[in-house]
Amino acid sequence: KKRTNLLTINLRKLAQRLNSNPWIKEVKVKRILPHTLKIKVKERIPVALVNHKKLFLVDKEGVLFKEVEPGDDIDMPVITGLSFSQPNSKLIKKVLVLLETADKTGVLPKDRISEVHIDNNYGLTLYTVKKAIPIRIGFQSYREKLNLLASIQKDLCSRQIDPEAIYFVSKEVAHVKLATSS
């Protein structure tokens, strides 16, 4: 574009135009005379997908910020089970806390979780990428349950046993349904 006089640029309109991009979380535009325009952008980083009639990208604050389009990276856990009335609810934030806790503890890194299903009665259920094993965690005590899950996984692995499902009754008790041999 041709050289533009900095004083003629409407900073508010420029910021609004930039903020219309769904990937932009926050933008600050500042004039630094005599010839600089400083634009500071905070970008939204998707951490999961939400299946809510269509697929949406969700950031770490639980904001559904963009419908998935061809070319978008969708290699992340999908959140399912939301009703129409709760797309931006506290439930998404609970899922994100669980995903972050699972990732930080190393028990179930995000790349090993394909789906997190929300059920108002049973809580949160993780599904693994490999074999789609359901792991019903519930709505609380994530860290304790994940630590117990690590022990369960270690024990099952040492015995070369595959679980079909794992259901947490409490932070101290889990039921393991064993896969049947075929």
pLDDT tens sequence for the chain (182 residues) = 567 888 899 999 999 999 999 999 999 999 999 889 999 999 999 999 999 889 999 999 999 999 999 999 999 999 999 876 665 578 999 999 999 999 999 999 999 999 999 998 999 999 999 999 999 999 999 999 999 999 999 999 999 999 999 999 999 999 999 988 64
Q: Is residue 22 part of a domain?
A: yes
pLDDT reported for residue 84: 65
What is the CATH number for 140? 3.40.50.11690
Q: Does one domain contain both 64 and 153? A: yes
Residue 21 sits in which domain range? 6-43
**CA gap 107, 150 in Å, rounded:** 6
The model carries a pTM of 0.87
DSSP 180: P
- Which helix (DSSP H) or strand (DSSP E) does residue 24 occupy? strand 24-32
* Radius of gyration of the chain, Cα coordinates, nearest whole angstrom: 22
Please report whether residue 1 resides in a domain: no
- pLDDT for 135 equals 98
Residue 136 lies in a domain: yes
Residue 170 falls inside a structural domain: yes
In a domain, residue 76? The reply is yes
pLDDT at position 86, please? 60
Q: Are strands 113-119 and 78-80 parallel, antiparallel or unpaired?
A: parallel
Q: Report the domain count for the chain.
A: 2
Residue 83: predicted pLDDT: 77
Q: What is the pLDDT of residue 102?
A: 95
pLDDT at residue 182, rounded to an integer = 42
pLDDT of residue 89: 76
Residue 73 lies in a domain: yes
Is the peptide bond prior to 34 cis by the omega test (within 30 degrees of 0)?
A: yes
* 106 and 25 housed in the same domain: no
Residues 94 and 173 in one domain: yes
Same domain, 73 and 37: no
4 SS3 class: coil
Find out whether 45 and 61 touch, Cβ atoms under 8 Å: no
Question: 34 with 53, same domain?
Answer: no
- The pLDDT, as a whole number, for residue 181 is 63
Is there a single domain that holds both residue 117 and residue 33?
no
Asked whether residue 105 falls in the same domain as residue 20, the answer is no
133 belongs to a structural domain? yes
